Amino acid sequence: MTTTTINPAKNEWPQLLQRPVLDTTALEASVGAILADVKAGGDAAVKKYAAQFDGATLTDLRVSPAEMQAAEALVSEELKTAIATARQNITAFHAAQREPKQVVETMPGVQCWRQSIAIQKVGLYIPGGTAPLFSTLLMLAIPAQLAGCKQIVVCTPCQADGQVNPVILYVAQLLGITNVFKVGGVQAIAAMAYG
What SS3 string covers 19-63?
CCCCCCHHHHHHHHHHHHHHHHHHHHHHHHHHHHHHCCCCCCCEC
Give the H or E element holding residue 105. strand 102-107
**How many alpha carbons lie under 13 Å from residue 38 in its C-beta half-sphere?**
22
Instruction: Report which DSSP code applies to 89.
Output: H
**pLDDT over 80 (residue 184):** yes
The pLDDT score that the predictor gives to residue 21 is 83
**pLDDT over 90 (residue 126):** yes
Residues 74 and 77: their CA atoms lie apart, in Å, by: 9
Q: Is the pTM of this model over 0.85?
A: no
Residues 47 and 59: their CA atoms lie apart, in Å, by: 8
Residues 144 and 124: their CA atoms lie apart, in Å, by: 10
Which among 96, 101, 121 is positioned nearest to 112, based on CA atoms? 101
| Average pLDDT over all residues of the chain | 93
Please list, in sequence order, all residues whose beta carbon lies within 8 angstroms of the beta carbon of residue 183, skipping any fewer than 6 positions away: 46, 50, 61, 155, 156, 157, 158, 191
Beta strands in 108-149 (DSSP E): 110-114, 121-125
Q: What percent of the chain has pLDDT over 90?
A: 78
16-25, 49-58, 166-175, 185-194: the lowest-pLDDT one: 16-25
**pLDDT over 90 (residue 182):** yes
